[in-house]
């Protein structure tokens, strides 16, 4: 159990630790919002890790061989902001005073890309843990590929701090299970075992033996029974670093809001300011000047300041090593530089096959598999896998091997049936830098990883999601496996690009577009069933524009048929049928709303002709959102219920995805608009 304050003498260690506590208390109090308890309990571990163990350079938060630090318990953000400020990152005391304010560098939860030194966005519990697993995987992969004897240019650890909340989340279990299987020894988790969450003691809901659980996952377990004992924490971290076979979990028994006479060890300290009076009492109790706010003694700055010196030295030593490395291995160094800069070499796409209308019909997932392999041959940073559906998702890189404990250089990751962890791990791999990760599953199971997709979108990470089996055409597996609402629900995520190509050639263009995208995740939505190949001369740059005229009428159209994916083909059939009845139809293939929206209005109007109000959207999914393109006068052929189990062709027919139904709908629409 945590020692009492009588065992908390006025050493420089305690002064540093208590400064983290008082800064956290003061910032939360000033903002009148936030979480003081966890930072106060975690302060000794944070201090020991950042000043004695971690390899980092506050002057260059992007140094590639730095140790990574992930605060999965993102609500404890004040501990991270305090560390960043004290150890010399570009975060000031004023930034701490502006905690949680508009435009400040110190938002409520850590946000990647916003605050120097923040490695990932955390807050949704468990996500950070999966990110850390991804970072540790990236470290091992890059080390296996680039290190040479005596030149370990990739040689760092990933530290992740989790609370009870993280440990309760399923994503953490999934990711921990995979990390244990992979033997990620450079992953070290500090579990803030304070036994308090929002509703009270963990006794009411979380009584399992977490250590035993992690032991079963093949983790190395260490216990530190006194969360205030910086030396014991230091020793545990050193022991963890020395472990070479398994990731380490340090179960650290802490006390939430340590030092607060009336609130420590209570849920009241979790997510609300302690109150002015309690802050004063706590400072007095800790031996800090109770009248001073945001007080940082010079000795504390001096102690933390050593991080700058050691960071500078550490990085320059690394730079020297890299210099000799690049002299000795110029080809590897070039590959390294390309990987780190995300540089696409000329010709990266030359092996992408040409698909011809004379070819046999081919499912877009199958075309995607060929394209992925063609790109992988030229783009060594491409790495990924599937959540146990590689044979269906066509995600395997044939020219590489599996990423396993004894072959970290492999580019085929077996994520297992762990979609949620896969999402978070992909983000972690990308955040590490040097890799372009992808992950696949059935579209319907995108829901299992949605929280990870959301945070990746928030971080603008250019991840690649390969979602196959994209509609009710899945057939016999029935409604559990037939996506209906997924397209609409993915399109609604800000910054997420959804592309549903109509054929193999659009799929090739979709991959080109995806690889070139660096500003956010992309989902490729691919068919299980075979589809005819379109004329790529008709597509040209149409896919990159999100929508284009695939087949036009002679003269002004009476009606515009807008379709995505497999439904483009029945729209083409319907056009032919309509023309026999003297009706001029234009077929617009619209693989991506998000790409289409990026065009100037003039282009959009050229495609959708504002004065042609008779429009039909056809997509085997929820009709929600399509009114945006068909207008009030238009019709949507979609699906508002769940699907059904039967052969795919039958299901499509029963749900109205036939050229006959499109023709009938068009006739009705035109009749009504006369």
Judged by the rule CB under 6 A, the positions of this chain that interact with ligand TPP are: 35, 37-38, 73, 75, 123-125, 163-166, 169, 192, 194, 196-198, 256, 270
Nearer to ligand TPP, 171 or 240 (CB): 171
**CB of residue 206 vs ligand TPP: minimum separation in angstroms?**
9
Sequence-distant (6+) residues with CB within 8 A of 635 are 615, 616, 617, 665, 668, 669
Distance CA 365, CA 524 (A): 9
Nearer to ligand TPP, 27 or 383 (CB): 27
Q: Using CB atoms, what's the residue nearest to ligand TPP?
A: 163
Nearer to ligand TPP, 194 or 395 (CB): 194
- Integer angstrom CA distances of residue 55 from 52, 191, 354, 394, 529: 9, 20, 48, 39, 51
Decide the pairing of beta strands 585-589 and 548-551: antiparallel
Strand partners, 522: 464, 497
Distance CA 435, CA 387 (A): 19
**CB of residue 52 vs ligand TPP: minimum separation in angstroms?**
23
Nearer to ligand TPP, 34 or 247 (CB): 34
Nearer to ligand TPP, 24 or 368 (CB): 24
Nearest to 146 by CA among 310, 312, 313, 318: 318
419 classed as catalytic: yes
Strand partners, 617: 562, 636
**CB of residue 385 vs ligand TPP: minimum separation in angstroms?**
25
**CB of residue 39 vs ligand TPP: minimum separation in angstroms?**
9
Residue bearing tokens 């959708």: 608
CA neighbours within 13 Å on the CB side: how many for 527? 29
Sequence-distant (6+) residues with CB within 8 A of 297 are 15, 19
Nearer to ligand TPP, 121 or 497 (CB): 121
- Integer angstrom CA distances of residue 249 from 76, 141, 189, 233, 594: 19, 22, 5, 12, 42
The DSSP-derived string for 165-198 is HHHHSHHHHHHHHHHHHHT-TTEEEEEEE--EET
Among the listed residues 111, 169, 278, 419, the single catalytic one is 419
Environment class of residue 26 by beta-carbon count within 10 Å: exposed (0-12), middle (13-18) or buried (19+)? buried
Decide the pairing of beta strands 362-363 and 436-442: unpaired
**CB of residue 641 vs ligand TPP: minimum separation in angstroms?**
30
3-class secondary-structure state, position 3: coil
**CB of residue 76 vs ligand TPP: minimum separation in angstroms?**
6
**CB of residue 487 vs ligand TPP: minimum separation in angstroms?**
25
**CB of residue 124 vs ligand TPP: minimum separation in angstroms?**
4
Nearer to ligand TPP, 82 or 482 (CB): 82
Calculate ∠ Cα 213-216-217, nearest 5°: 95
Distance CA 246, CA 302 (A): 36
Nearer to ligand TPP, 269 or 515 (CB): 269
Cite the active site residues. 419
């Amino acid at each position: 159990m945590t020692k009492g304050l009588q065992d908390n003498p006025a050493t420089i260690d305690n002064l540093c630790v208590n400064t983290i506590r008082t800064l956290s208390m003061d910032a939360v109090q000033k903002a009148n919002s936030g979480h003081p308890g966890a930072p106060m309990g975690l302060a000794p571990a944070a201090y020991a890790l950042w000043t004695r163990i971690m390899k980092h350079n506050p002057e260059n938060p992007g140094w590639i061989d730095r140790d990574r630090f992930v605060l999965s318990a993102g609500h404890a953000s004040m501990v991270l902001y305090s560390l960043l400020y004290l150890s010399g990152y570009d975060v000031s005391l004023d930034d701490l005073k502006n905690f949680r304010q508009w435009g400040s560098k110190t938002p409520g939860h850590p946000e990647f890309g916003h605050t120097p030194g923040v490695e990932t966005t955390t807050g949704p519990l468990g996500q950070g843990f999966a990110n850390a697993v991804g970072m540790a995987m990236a470290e091992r992969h890059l080390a296996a590929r680039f290190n040479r004897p005596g030149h370990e240019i990739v040689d760092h650890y990933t530290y992740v701090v989790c609370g009870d909340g993280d440990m309760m989340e399923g994503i953490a279990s999934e990711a921990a299970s995979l990390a244990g299987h992979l033997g990620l020894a450079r992953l070290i988790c500090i579990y803030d075992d304070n036994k308090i969450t929002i509703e009270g003691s963990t006794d009411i809901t979380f009584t399992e033996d977490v250590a035993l659980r992690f032991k079963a996952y093949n983790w190395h377990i260490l216990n530190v029974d006194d969360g205030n004992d910086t030396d014991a924490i230091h020793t545990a971290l050193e022991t963890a670093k020395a472990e070479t076979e398994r990731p380490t979990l340090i179960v650290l028994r802490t006390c939430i809001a340590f030092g607060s006479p009336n609130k420590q060890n209570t849920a009241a300290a979790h997510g609300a300011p302690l109150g002015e009076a309690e802050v004063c009492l706590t400072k007095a109790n800790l031996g800090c000047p109770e009248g001073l706010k945001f007080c940082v003694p010079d000795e504390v700055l001096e102690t933390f300041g050593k991080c700058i010196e050691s960071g500078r030295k550490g990085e320059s030593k690394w730079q020297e090593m890299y210099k000799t490395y690049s002299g000795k291995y110029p080809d590897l160094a070039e590959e390294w530089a390309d990987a780190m800069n995300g540089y696409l070499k000329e010709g990266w796409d030359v092996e992408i096959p040409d698909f011809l209308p004379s070819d046999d019909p081919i499912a877009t997932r199958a075309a995607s598999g060929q394209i992925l392999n063609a790109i992988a041959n030229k783009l060594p940073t491409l790495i990924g896998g599937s959540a146990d559906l590689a044979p269906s998702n066509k995600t395997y890189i044939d020219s590489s091997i599996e990423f396993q404990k004894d072959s970290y250089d492999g580019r085929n990751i077996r994520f297992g049936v762990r979609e949620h962890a896969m999402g978070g791990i992909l983000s972690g791999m990308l955040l590490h830098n040097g890799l372009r990760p992808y992950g696949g599953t059935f579209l319907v199971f995108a829901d299992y990883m949605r929280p990870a997709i959301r945070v990746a979108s928030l971080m603008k990470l250019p991840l690649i999601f390969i979602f196959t089996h994209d509609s009710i055409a899945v057939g016999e597996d029935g409604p559990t496996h037939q996506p209906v609402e997924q397209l609409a629900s993915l399109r609604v995520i800000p910054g997420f690009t959804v592309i549903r190509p109509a054929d193999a050639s659009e799929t090739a263009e979709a991959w080109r577009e995806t690889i070139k995208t660096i500003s956010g995740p992309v989902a490729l939505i691919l068919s299980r069933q075979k589809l005819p190949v379109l004329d790529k001369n008709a597509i040209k740059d149409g896919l990159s524009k999100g929508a284009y005229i695939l087949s036009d009428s002679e003269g002004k159209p009476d009606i515009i048929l807008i379709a995505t994916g497999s439904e483009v083909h029945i729209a083409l059939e319907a056009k032919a049928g309509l023309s026999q009845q003297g009706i001029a139809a234009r077929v617009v293939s619209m693989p991506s709303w998000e790409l289409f929206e990026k065009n100037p209005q003039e282009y959009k109007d050229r495609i959708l002709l504002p004065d042609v109000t008779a429009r039909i959207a056809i997509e085997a999914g929820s009709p929600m959102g399509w009114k945006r393109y068909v207008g009030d006068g238009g019709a949507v052929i979609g699906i508002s219920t769940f699907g059904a189990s039967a052969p795919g062709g039958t299901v499509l027919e029963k749900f109205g995805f036939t050229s006959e139904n499109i023709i009938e709908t068009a006739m009705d629409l035109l009749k009504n608009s006369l």
